[in-house]
């Protein structure tokens, strides 16, 4: 019941949104996971940008990370939740790690961005663009704003703790 990125169509008609999904970052975080679960429970069409994560010697895929999170909420709420479209990406990579095909898919499938990704490091912050949390909280937000502009989004929400 996952909709991994390999099953997505990446060439919808130009200049026309084929659907109106919400594009979300930060869906694996403490606040973002709760927001995503509530959006899914409400039946809101969503796509999430998530990175794969190393866990010991193995890698947990972006889609598996989202599935695990939503499965936890399903256990609490005793219901089955729909799954968002999962797009493998990274806030710190050029163009969020998204190729032109994925950007076109986002451009034609989503009409709203909710940026909830953040680094919650409690170490003293350095304003160097190479250090956390500056890299994620400033550089990542700028990258998502650039994406929103390139894709022609008219609405953009940023959540900060």
pLDDT tens per residue, range 14-56? 445 677 899 999 999 999 999 999 999 999 999 999 999 998 8
The structure's pTM equals: 0.82
DSSP string, 3-15: B-GGGS---PPTT
pLDDT tens per residue, range 86-104? 999 999 899 999 999 999 9
Whole-angstrom distance, CA of residue 106 vs CA of residue 17: 9
| Among the listed residues 105, 143, 149, the one whose alpha carbon sits nearest the alpha carbon of residue 12 | 105
Residue 9: count of CB within 10 angstroms of its CB: 11
Residue 159: count of CB within 10 angstroms of its CB: 16
Question: Residue range 77-89: average pLDDT?
Answer: 97
The helix (run of H) or strand (run of E) holding residue 67 is helix 62-77
Residue 160: count of CB within 10 angstroms of its CB: 9
Integer angstrom CA distances of residue 95 from 23, 56, 123, 161: 15, 27, 27, 25
Three-state DSSP class for residue 115: strand
Contact 79, 120 (CB under 8 A): no
| Among the listed residues 59, 60, 70, the one whose alpha carbon sits nearest the alpha carbon of residue 2 | 70
């Amino acid at each position: 019941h996952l909709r991994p990125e390999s099953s997505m169509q990446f060439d919808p008609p130009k200049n026309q949104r084929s659907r109106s999904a919400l594009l979300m970052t930060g869906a694996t975080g403490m606040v973002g996971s709760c927001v995503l679960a509530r959006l899914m429970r409400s039946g809101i069409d969503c796509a999430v940008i998530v990175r794969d994560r190393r866990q010991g010697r193995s890698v947990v895929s972006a889609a598996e990370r989202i599935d695990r999170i939503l499965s936890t909420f399903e256990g609490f709420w005793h219901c089955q939740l729909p799954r968002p479209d999962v797009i493998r990406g990274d806030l710190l990579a050029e163009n969020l790690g998204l190729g032109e095909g994925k950007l076109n898919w986002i451009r034609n499938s989503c009409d709203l961005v909710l940026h909830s990704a953040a680094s919650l490091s409690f170490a003293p912050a350095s304003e160097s663009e190479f250090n956390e949390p500056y890299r994620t909280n400033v550089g990542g937000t700028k990258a998502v704003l650039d994406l929103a502009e390139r894709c022609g989004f008219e609405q953009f929400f940023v959540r900060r703790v």
